[in-house]
Each structure stands twice: as C-alpha cells, then as structure tokens.
Amino acid sequence: MAKTLPVVYQTLRNHSHITEYALVQDPTNKPFLEVLSGRRQAVPPIWMMRQAGRYLPEYRELRAKAGGFLDLCFTPEFAAEVTLQPVRRFAFDAAIIFSDILVIPYALGRTVRFEAGEGPRLDPLDTPDKIAALSSEADMTKLEPVFEALRRVKRELDSKTALIGFCGAPWTVATYMIAGQGTPDQAPARMMAYRHPDAFAKVIDAIVDNSIRYLLGQLQAGADALQIFDTWAGVLPPREFEQWSIEPTKRIVAGVRRQVPDAKIIGFPRGAGALLPSYIEATGVDAVSIDWAAEPSLIRDKVQNRVAVQGNLDPLALIAGGAALDRAVDDVLTNFAAGRLIFNLGHGIQPETPIPHVEQMIRRVRGNGLRQ
C-alpha cells in the first residue's frame, strides 16, 4: 500500500504553486507514483489506456484460449498474464489490471455478456420497478479472481513499475445498466435520471457503495493507485454533471480515503471540458486523465496547477503514425510536460493500431535521440 509522506512534504504537495521539489529521489521510487504525489518527472512516465487488448497478437491468442471475455477477466492466471503483456513488450511505467468496469453490475447480479464485435450486453434496468428489485450489495466473492490477479501481477512487476486498479464511475456504469448496452448518447440513462430521479439515484448509490469496497479490495491486493473511468461524463449538462458525475465520484474518493487516507486516485471524466476545474475541486482526485480535445491553457492554468495531468494523445494519431504521430506527441509534451504529466492517450488504444507506432510514440516521449 502507498506509504504516507512526511508531514512537511504533504504540506508542500497541497500548496498549489509547487509542482516539483529539489529533493534527491529514492532511486527505487516509481516515476508514475512520484508524479501522482506532486513531483514532476523530467521524462514523463507513460502507459496507455486499454494497453492490454486486441492490438497485441499475444492478447488475441490468450483471448481465444480463454473462451469468453469474462472468463479471461475472472481466470487470475490469464488476467495476470494479459496485464503483464504490454509491460513486458513496451516497459511501460504502469500496469493496469485486466478487468472491466462492468464487473460491478455482474457482482450485483445483473446478466453481463460480451458479444464478439458488438460490445457488452446486459439485461436492461429500464423501469423503476426493475430498479426497486436491484440488490444494493454486490457478491464480492465474484470479484475475488480480480484480487488474485492483482496479487500475481504485483509479484511479477519490477520496483519501478506501478500497478493500477480501477472501476467505472457510477454515471458511466449506470448508462450500461439502464440501456443494457452502449448507446451513442446515453439517452436511456439521461431520460431515467430526468423522469425517475429517485430510482436512478438508487442505481448510482448501489454502484458507489460497491465500487468503494471493490477499490479497497484492489488496494489491499496490491494496487498502487486507482483510476475511475467516467467515459460518458461529457454527455451531461452542467447541473447533471455535478449531480451524477462529480457527486458520486466524490463519495467514492471519500469512501476509499476513509480507510486508506493516502490512496492515490485518478479521475477520467471524459469530455468534461470547462467543467474539469470544478470536478477536481469537488472530488479531491490526485490527477485527471484528459481527452484529446482538452484546451491546453485551461488545463495548464486551472487543472495542472492543482493536480497531475494524464493524457492526451489522440488514439487516431497513433494509428496514423509517421509525421502526424510525431507532431501529436510533441504537442502533448509542449502543452503539458513543463508540469506534472503522465503521458497517455486521450482515450483507449484501438485494436487496429500498429505496434511499431506504439514504439515510435514511446521513443519520442522518452527522448531516445529523437527529442530536441
């Protein structure tokens, strides 16, 4: 578990103008955790959202062996192996445990299936009556394989590489639970929230309470930091963003920190745009992951002055490669590398991404003769 910093450093960390200390760093510290703890790194640590996945031949091979996607997530040996694949190949600064945000609805007793080429399918919670029958307590034994996978990965990682646990933010998880599948604009969940706010709040509350338990279990199993994915935050009007994205995330952060006060937490309210400063202020996250459309000066002046920033290469630039990729990498570094930055994509890597392009991106970020 993350160690507590001496009080003097805590004070420095909380001071909005200080982004870097002139301290000699312990050579065993993990660069990723250093940035989350307020200490900018000269070379930004790097990992990619969805880094374990279909663009890797070794993933596709194991996926075929495991059968279903959930079988892959819930077989610790396989989940640990898939988590480690991108770290071995690219020496990323962080591993993210291989699982999915929809394991929470699954543990709440909902039916969750992943159809090949179609994405997730759940039994829709599309009426207040169905919501009234929703269990408020997840069966945590169903999630035990995720904890076991974390313990296995932890044993394999070297001392420089951090391990990330995660969950979906309540709003984003609820959009799948209500609609039963992904939708272009999350209309079913938005409509449920307008028409039946009390029923909708019950779904959100169940996700909040069980996500806290799930994240605490992940910390206990060896996660060094946590990320909360709010992929669909950007479809909400400001009032609803406050109510359904910020408030539930704030409760998760507070619930986790009640047990683990120095838990490091990254929020990813994708598409939050100008609402990001209020998100960080209210939730108390240590960092935000930003999407590629984020406006750089807003991020620098109102976000990166307070917390670390993770992002934000357009995944399509990574598919394109060549000069367009170099330019896109340089833009991220120019925009954000003067402050606390964890280099990442603005959203998950796509399956058609060529592996040499990932290598090109990493070389450019780490400056192996290509930068300056």
**Which residue ranges make up the site for ligand CP3 (CB under 6 A)?**
49-54, 63, 69, 96, 98, 100-102, 114, 119-120, 166, 168, 172, 182, 229, 231, 348
Cβ pair 276, 302 in contact under 8 A: yes
307 Cβ contact partners less than 8 Å away, ≥ 6 residues apart: 280, 285, 286, 287, 288, 340
176 annotated active-site: yes
DSSP at 320: H
Give CA angle at 121 (64, 104), nearest 5°.
90
Catalytic residue among 50, 257, 363, 371: 50
Between 172 and 353, CB nearer to ligand CP3: 172
Distance CA 99, CA 71 (A): 10
Selecting among 63, 152, 213, 306, the annotated active-site residue is 63
Alpha-carbon span 368 to 366, nearest angstrom: 6
Which residue in the list 100, 224, 291, 314 is annotated as catalytic? 100
CB of 30 to ligand CP3, least distance (A): 18
Q: Which two tokens stand for residue 35?
A: 């940035």
Q: Which residues are CB-neighbours of 348 under 8 A, at least 6 positions away? A: 48, 49, 50, 53, 315
Closest approach of ligand CP3 to the CB of residue 201, in Å: 21
Task: Specify whether 279 is catalytic.
Answer: no
**H or E, element range at 114:** strand 112-115
Q: Which amino acid is at 299?
A: I
Is residue 280 classed exposed, middle or buried when 0-12, 13-18 and 19+ CB atoms within 10 A define those classes? Answer: buried
Core vs surface per residue 106-122: b (16+ CB within 10 A) or e: bbbebebebeeeeebbb
Q: What is the 3-state secondary structure (H, E, C) of 248-266?
A: HHHHHHHHHHHHCCCCCEE
- Return the number of the residue (51 or 360) whose C-beta is nearest ligand CP3: 51
Give me the least distance between CB of 102 and ligand CP3, in Å please.
Answer: 6
Question: Closer to ligand CP3 at the Cβ: 106 or 336?
Answer: 106
Residue 49 or 365: the one with the smaller Cβ distance to ligand CP3 is 49
Closest CA to 204 of 241, 244, 153, 237: 244
Q: In this structure, what DSSP letter does residue 4 have?
A: P
Task: Please identify, using beta-carbon distances, which residue of 41 and 172 lies nearer to ligand CP3.
Answer: 172
Facing residues of 121 across strands? 113
For ligand CP3, the closer CB: 60 or 258: 60
Smallest distance from the beta carbon of 318 to ligand CP3, in angstroms?
14
The nearer residue to ligand CP3, 19 or 310, going by C-beta atoms, is 310
Catalytic-role residue among 55, 106, 176, 279: 176
Q: Tell me the closest approach of the beta carbon of residue 173 to ligand CP3, in angstroms.
A: 8
Cα–Cα distance list, 73 to 96, 106, 112, 150, 222 (Å): 13, 12, 13, 11, 17
Query: CB of residue 83 vs ligand CP3: minimum separation in angstroms?
Result: 7
Shortest Å distance, C-beta 54 to ligand CP3: 5
Q: Is 55 among the residues known to form the active site?
A: no
Main-chain phi, psi angles of 224, to 5 degrees: -90, -25
Catalytic residue among 13, 54, 89, 113: 54
Residue 63 annotated in active site: yes
326 is catalytic: no
Q: Where in the sequence numbering do the catalytic residues fall?
A: 50, 54, 63, 100, 176
